[in-house]
Structure 1
Amino acid sequence: MTDQTEKDAGSGIPTLEQMQAWTGAIGSVQQMMLEYVSSQLARGKPAEGVGAPDMSRLMQAQANFWSDSMILWQRFITPETAPPPPADHEKDRRFKGAAWRENPMFDLIRQSYQLLSDHLLQGVDAVEGLTPAQRERLRFATRAFADAMSPSNFAITNPEVLARTLETNGQNLVKGLEHMLADIGKGQLTHTDSKAFEVGRNIAATPGKVIKETPLYQLIQYTPVTETVARIPLVIFPPWINRFYILDLSPEKSFIRWAVAEGLTVFVVSWKSADAAMAATTMDDYLLRGELDAIDTVRELLDVPAVHTVGYCVAGTALAALLALLAARGQADKVASATFFTAQVDFADSGDLKLFVDDEQLALAQALAKDNGYLDGRYMAATFNLLRGRELIWNYVVNNYLMGDDYPPFDLLHWNGDTTNLPVDWHNAYLRDLYRDNRLVDGSYTIDGTPIDLSRIETPAYVQAGREDHIAPAKSVWKLMHYLNGPARFVLAGSGHIAGVVNPPSAGKYQFWTYDGKPESLDEFIAGATETKGSWWPDWRAWLAGIDPATVAADGARQPGSGSLPALEDAPGRYVKLR
Structure 2
Amino acid sequence: MKSSPLRVVARQSPALVPPASAASLRPDGQDPLDMSFKSLVARATGGISPLAMGLAFQDWYLHLLVAPGKCAELAGCWAGALAGAPAGTEPGDDRRFADPGWSAWPFHRYAWNFRQVEHFWQRATSGVAGVGPHHAEVVRFAARQLLDMWAPSNFPWTNPEVLRAAWASGGASLAAGWRNWRQDACRHLAPPGAAVSEPLGAPYVPGVDVALTPGKVVFRNALIELIQYNPQTDAVYREPVLIVPSWIMKYYILDLSPHNSLVGYLVRKGHTVLMISWRNPDAGDRDLGLADYLRQGLLAGLAQAGAVGGGAPVHAVGYCLGGTLLAMAAALHGDDQVAGRKPLPAPLASISLIAAQTDFSEPGELGLFIDDSELAFLDALMWEQGYLTGDQMAASFQLLHARDLVWSRMMREYLLGRRSAPNDLMAWNADSTRLPFRMHSEYLHQLFLRNDLAEGRYLIDGKPVLLSSIMAPMFVLATERDHVSPWRSVYKIHQLCDVPVEFVLASGGHNAGVVSEPGHPGRSYLSLATGPARPRRTVAAQWVEHAHRTEGSWWPHWQHWLARHSSPHKVAPPAPPAPVLGAAPGLYVVQP
TM-score range normalised by the length of the shorter chain:
0.7 to 0.9
Whichever residue aligns with residue 541 of structure 1, its letter is Q
Deviations 1:495-551 (A, max 9, x none): 221222111112143211112312421111111112211111111111111112434
Aligned ranges 1:118-517 → 2 under 5 Å? 118-187=119-188, 193-330=200-337, 331=343, 334-369=347-382, 371-515=384-528, 516=530, 517=534
* Cα pair 2:246 2:321 within 8 Å, conserved: yes
Equivalent position amino acid for 2:313 in 1? A
TM-score, L = length of structure 2: 0.83
Alignment partners' CA distance in 2, 1:460 and 1:100: 54
Change (3 A) 1:424 1:230: same
What amino acid does structure 2 have at the position aligned with 1:107? Answer: H
Are the equivalent residues in 2 in contact too, given 1:204–1:250 (CA < 8 A)? yes
Larger RCO (alpha carbons 8 Å, 6+ apart): 2
What's the CA shift string for 1:458-514, capped at 9, x where partnerless?
210001111222221121111011111112111111222122211111214321111
CA distance in 1, matches of 2:267, 2:468: 33
AA in 2 matched with 1:527:
E
Q: Equivalent residue for 2:37?
A: none
Aligned length: 517
Give the AA of the match of 1:165. A
For residues 276-303 of structure 1, give each alpha carbon's deviation from its aligned partner in whole angstroms, at most 9, with x where no partner exists.
2211100001111111110011112331
Query: 2:173, 2:480 → 1: CA distance?
Result: 38
Once the two structures are TM-superposed, the CA of residue 68 in structure 1 deviates from its matched residue by 4.6
The amino acid across from 1:164 in the alignment is: A
Change (3 A) 1:574 1:378: same
Shift of 1:191: 13
1:548 to 566, 577, 580: 566
Which one has the largest radius of gyration?
1
Q: Secondary structure at the match of 2:131?
A: coil
Query: What is the RMSD computed on CA atoms of the aligned residues?
Result: 2.3
Q: Write out per-residue CA displacement over residues 127-180 of structure 1, whole angstroms, 9 at most, x where no aligned residue.
A: 443211111111111111111111111122112222233334434333333332
Question: Are the equivalent residues in 2 in contact too, given 1:365–1:424 (CA < 8 A)?
Answer: no
- Check whether the contact 2:201–2:428 (CA below 8 A) recurs between aligned residues: no
Change (3 A) 1:107 1:49: closer
Contact 2:59-2:131 at 8 Å conserved across structures: no
Contact kept? 2:308, 2:574, Cα under 8 Å = no
**Candidates 62, 87, 99, aligned match of 2:101:** 99
Which letter does structure 2 place at the counterpart of 1:115?
Q
Contact 1:193 / 1:408 at 8 angstroms: preserved in 2? no
For residues 318 and 99 of structure 2, what CA distance do their matches in structure 1 show?
A: 41
Q: Cα deviation per residue 1:425-458 (whole Å; 9 max; x = unaligned)?
A: 2212201111111111222110122111111112
Please tell me whether the aligned partners of residues 245 and 318 of structure 2 are also in contact (alpha carbons under 8 angstroms): yes
Measure the CA separation in 2 of the matches of 1:547 and 1:57: 58
Unaligned runs of 5+ in 2: 1-56, 191-196, 338-342
Q: Is the 8 A contact 1:299 1:306 kept in 2?
A: yes
Alignment check: 8 A CA contact 1:381 1:417 kept: no
Residues in 1 aligned to 2:166 and 2:198: alpha-carbon distance in whole angstroms: 22
Instruction: Tell me the distance in 2 between the aligned counterparts of 1:325 and 1:256.
Output: 27
After superposition, residues 55-66 of structure 1 pair within 5 angstroms as 55-66=68-79
The separation in 1 between residues aligned to 2:587 and 2:572, in whole angstroms, is 26
Distance in 2, matches of 1:201 and 1:47, equals: 54
2:119 partner amino acid: D
- 1:52 and 2:63 aligned: yes
Answer yes or no: is the 8 Å Cα contact 1:311–1:339 preserved in 2.
yes
Contact kept in structure 2, 1:458 and 1:487, CA below 8 Å: no
Moved more, 110-119 or 61-70: 61-70
Q: Is the alpha carbon distance of 1:445 and 1:556 closer, same or farther for their aligned partners in structure 2, counting shifts above 3 Å?
A: closer
State how far apart, in whole Å, the 2-side matches of 1:148 and 1:549 are. Answer: 57
Instruction: Indicate yes or no: 2:584 matched with 1:571.
Output: yes
Q: CA deviation at 1:384?
A: 1.2
In the alignment, residue 95 of structure 2 is paired with which amino acid? R
Q: In the aligned structure 2, how far is the partner of 1:188 from the partner of 1:522? A: 45
Between 514-523 and 391-400, the greater mean CA deviation after superposition: 514-523
CA distance in 2, matches of 1:115, 1:370: 44
CA contact (8 A) 2:238 2:309 kept: no
Q: TM-score, normalised by structure 1?
A: 0.84
**Deviation sequence 1:402-440 (CA, Å, 0-9, x none):** 222234122212211111011022212201111111111
Could you tell me which amino acid in structure 2 is paired with residue 130 of structure 1?
V
Q: Distance in 1 between matches of 2:438 and 2:326?
A: 20
The question of whether the paired residues in 2 share the 8 Å contact of 1:51 and 1:129 is answered with no
Cα distance change of structure 1 residues 138 and 418 upon mapping to structure 2, 3 Å threshold = same
- State the one-letter code of the partner of 2:275: V
- What letter is aligned with 2:265? W
Query: Would the alpha carbon gap of residues 528 and 91 (structure 1) be closer, same or farther in structure 2, given more than 3 Å must change?
Result: same
Note closer, same or farther for the CA distance 1:418–1:313 as it changes in structure 2 (3 Å cut). Answer: same
- Structure 2 counterpart SS, 1:441: coil
Amino acid at match of 1:97: D
- C-alpha deviation, 1:264, in angstroms: 0.7
- How far the C-alpha of 1:273 sits from its partner, in A, is 1.3
> Which amino acid is 1:429 matched to?
E
Q: Distance in 2 between matches of 1:171 and 1:304?
A: 65
Q: Which residue of 2 aligns with 1:117?
A: 118
Matched, 1:538 2:540: no
Query: Bigger shift: 54-63 or 316-325?
Result: 54-63
Of stretches 287-296 and 47-56 in structure 1, the one that deviates more from structure 2 is: 47-56
Give the distance between the partners of 2:94 and 2:166, measured in 1 at CA.
Answer: 23
Measured in 1, the distance between the counterparts of 2:181 and 2:381 equals: 23
